[in-house]
Structure 1
Amino acid sequence: MIGHQEAEKAIIDAWSAGCLHHAWLLAGPQGIGKAAFASRVARFLATHDSGGQGGTGEQGGAIALDDPGDGAAGRLVEAGNHPEIVRLERQPKEKGKELARNITIDQVRTMIRRLYLSLSLGHWRVVIIDAVDDLETDGANALLKTLEEPPARTVFLLVSHSPGRLLPTIRSRCRTLRFQPLDPDVMTAWLHELRPMLDRAEARAIVAASGGLPGKALALIDSDVAAMEKKLLAIVAGGDPDNRLREALAREVGGASNRARLELVIDIVPGLLARLARERPVSEIAPVLAGWDRVQRTVRDAVRGSYDGAMVGFEIGNCLAELAPREG
C-alpha cells in the first residue's frame, strides 16, 4: 500500500478522538488501492480498542493503521476468519469463474441480519462493500435504511469507483475520503522497490500507462509495456506510409484472444500522447490534443458497439500516424 496518507490520518484522528463516523465512502478510480485501504482499516479496528483515548504506537510514536494491535485478533484477520469483518462483493456464477453482474439484495439482507447479532470479538464490526457501485437497486435501498439507523459499534467502508452514480442519500450519510492518482515519482520509486531489476524504460512506460494507479501498474508489470510503446512510437516517427505497422498492430490486438493486448494499447496511448505534447513546440501541441480526443472517442464508440479490436487498433494507429513530423 503506497500513498493515501491523508485518508489514513482522517481515520486515525476520528478513532483517537472517539468520533469515528459510522460510514465512510472511499471514492476514486479503480486500481488506486481503495479496497486495500479498506482492509487495512478493518484490520486496525478489529485489533484495537474502541478509541477515544488518543493513542500511540508500540514504539511510542503516533499510531498508524499498520500497528499490529491484538495478536490473536490479527491472526484471525490474516486467515480471513475474523467474525466481525463482513465483506460484500460480487460472487462467482454457478458455472465457471465469471462474477455475477451485481451484489444481490439477498447478500445485503444476509449482511443486515448479521449486524444485529451481539459482537463476539473485539470492539467493532466492520462491513466492507467492494464495490458499492455494484449493488442492485433493491440492495442499495436496503443499505440506505441501515445507514440511516446504523447498529452500534458498526463501521461501513463503501468502496466506490463512480460515486456520482450512487444514490445521493447514500452519499449524504457517509464521510467521503477521496483517493487521487499517485505522483509519477512516487510510483517510479515504488516500482523499483517492488522490482529492483526492472528496466528504467519499462518502469517509465508502466508509470505513464498506469495513470498513477498502483493496481493498474501491477497488471501491466509483466506485459512488456516498453516493447508495445516502441511499436506505437515507430508509427509516430515515420508516419507508416505503407500501412504496414498499422496493419501489424491491428492483427496483434484483434480478436477475443488478444483483448489483453488491446487494453494494453488503450492504457499506453494517453501517456504516450501526453509525453509528445510536452516534448513538441507549442505550435504542434494542438494536433496531439486532437489525436488524444480522437483516440478517446474511438474507444468509447468501440465499447458501445461490437468492440472490434482490429478496427480500434488500426484507428489508434491512424491517429498516431497523423502526428508524424512534417518535412520542411
Structure 2
Amino acid sequence: MIGHQDAESAFIEAWAAGRLHHAWLLAGPQGMGKGAFAERVARFLVTHGSGGDGVPVSLDDPGDIAASRLVDAGNHPEILSLTRQPKDKGKELARNITIDQVRGIIRRLHLSLSLGEWRVIIVDAVDDLETDGANALLKTLEEPPARTLFLLISHSPGRLLPTIRSRCRTLRFQPVAHDVMTSWLHELRPMLEMAEVRAIVAASGGVPGKAIALIDSDVAAMEKKLLAIAASGDPGNRLREALAREVAGTSNRARLELVIDIVPGLLARLARERPVAEIAPVLAQWDRIQRTVRDAIRGSYDGAMVGFEIGNCLAELAPKVAAAR
C-alpha cells in the first residue's frame, strides 16, 4: 500500500486511545486505495479488542486468527457493505445505491453483535447513494448504534450532504509525491524502463491505482504520438486523424482515457521547456482541452471528436517554423 500512512496513523491512534469516532469519511481521488484501506480497517476491528489500552499497533496486525479466517472467506457476519449492484443479473452496475439497500443494512444494525466487539459498515462509494438513501443513512449517523463503525468512501466529498460530512471524521488521501511514486513503481515493476516509469507517474497524477492501470497501456508509445503532433503541427491532419481513429468508439474508451491522462503531463513538460513569454499559449490549450473533455462527458461521449480536438490543441503549440512547412 502507498499513500495510506497518515490515514493509518490517525486511525490507530484514535483506536489505541479509546476515542474511535463512529463514522469516518475516506476522501480523495479515485484510485488512491480508499476501498483497500477500508477493508484493512474492517479486518482490524473485527479481529481485535475494543481498544483504549494505549498500545498502538499496525492495521496489518493479524489479531484473532479464527475471525481473520472468516474475513478471508468473506463470511464475517459483522462486516457489511453497501455498493452498487449489477442490473438485471448482468455485469453492468446500477447507477446508484438504492434506498432499499440502505434500509436492509439499517435492519441489520438492530441485531446484537454475533461475533467480536465491533460491527463495520463500508459504503463504497457514499457518492453513489440515492437522495433518499443518503437521508436514511444520515439518520443512522445521527443516532449510531453502539460498537458500530461507518467507513464512507468518497471520491467527491464536496458533493455530499454537508450534514453527512459534519457527522464524520475525515481522512484525506492525497496524491502521492512524484519521487515517491517513481520509487514505488520502479520497485513494483523493476522490468519497466525508467523512461516509461516516469511517463506513467506523470500520467497518473500521483494516483497509485491509475499508475497500475497504465502499466499495460504502452504510455510511451502514445506519448510519442502526441508529442509528434505538438512538434510538427501536423499540417496535413494525418496524425490527428490517426489519433481520432485510435480512440473512437466504446471499444477504444481505454485508449481515449489514456490520452486524457497523458496530456496534462505533456503540457506541463512543454511549459517547462519554453521561455516564460511562451508559457501562456500552453496554458490556453490546457484550458481548451479541459473544456473539451468536460463538454464531452456531459454530452454524447464522441471519442473521435475528443481525440481530434486534443490533437488540434497540441498542434497549436508547434513551433511556427515547423507548422508552416
* Common topology (TM > 0.5): yes
Alignment of 1:105-144 (within 5 A): 105-144=99-138
Question: CA offset at residue 130 of structure 1?
Answer: 0.2
Match of 1:219 in 2: 213
Match of 1:267 in 2: 261
Question: CA offset at residue 185 of structure 1?
Answer: 1.3
Scaled by the length of structure 2, what TM-score is found? 0.96
Match of 1:171 in 2: 165
Aligned residue type for 1:11: F
Distance in 2 of aligned mates of 1:124 and 1:256 = 44
Scaled by the length of structure 1, what TM-score is found? 0.96
Question: CA offset at residue 77 of structure 1?
Answer: 1.2
Match of 1:44 in 2: 44
Match of 1:60 in 2: none
Q: CA RMSD in A?
A: 1.2
- Report SS of the residue matched to 1:159: strand
Identity %: 84
- Report SS of the residue matched to 1:278: helix
Q: Which segments of structure 1 move beyond 4 Å, counting only runs of 4 or more?
A: none
Distance in 1 of aligned mates of 2:125 and 2:61 = 26
Match of 2:291 in 1: 297
Match of 2:82 in 1: 88
Distance in 2 of aligned mates of 1:275 and 1:37 = 33
Distance in 2 of aligned mates of 1:257 and 1:208 = 25
Distance in 1 of aligned mates of 2:277 and 2:249 = 38
Aligned residue type for 1:48: H
Question: CA offset at residue 95 of structure 1?
Answer: 3.9
Distance in 2 of aligned mates of 1:293 and 1:262 = 18
Match of 2:143 in 1: 149
Match of 2:30 in 1: 30
Aligned residue type for 2:202: A
Question: CA offset at residue 225 of structure 1?
Answer: 0.8
Distance in 1 of aligned mates of 2:103 and 2:90 = 25
Match of 2:7 in 1: 7
Distance in 1 of aligned mates of 2:79 and 2:308 = 48
Question: CA offset at residue 74 of structure 1?
Answer: 1.3
Match of 1:240 in 2: 234
Match of 2:20 in 1: 20
Aligned length: 322
Distance in 2 of aligned mates of 1:277 and 1:39 = 41
Question: CA offset at residue 281 of structure 1?
Answer: 1.6
- Report SS of the residue matched to 1:128: strand
Distance in 1 of aligned mates of 2:96 and 2:250 = 24
Aligned residue type for 2:63: G
Question: CA offset at residue 96 of structure 1?
Answer: 2.1
Question: CA offset at residue 245 of structure 1?
Answer: 0.6
Contact 2:3-2:174 at 8 Å conserved across structures: no
Contact 2:271-2:282 at 8 Å conserved across structures: yes
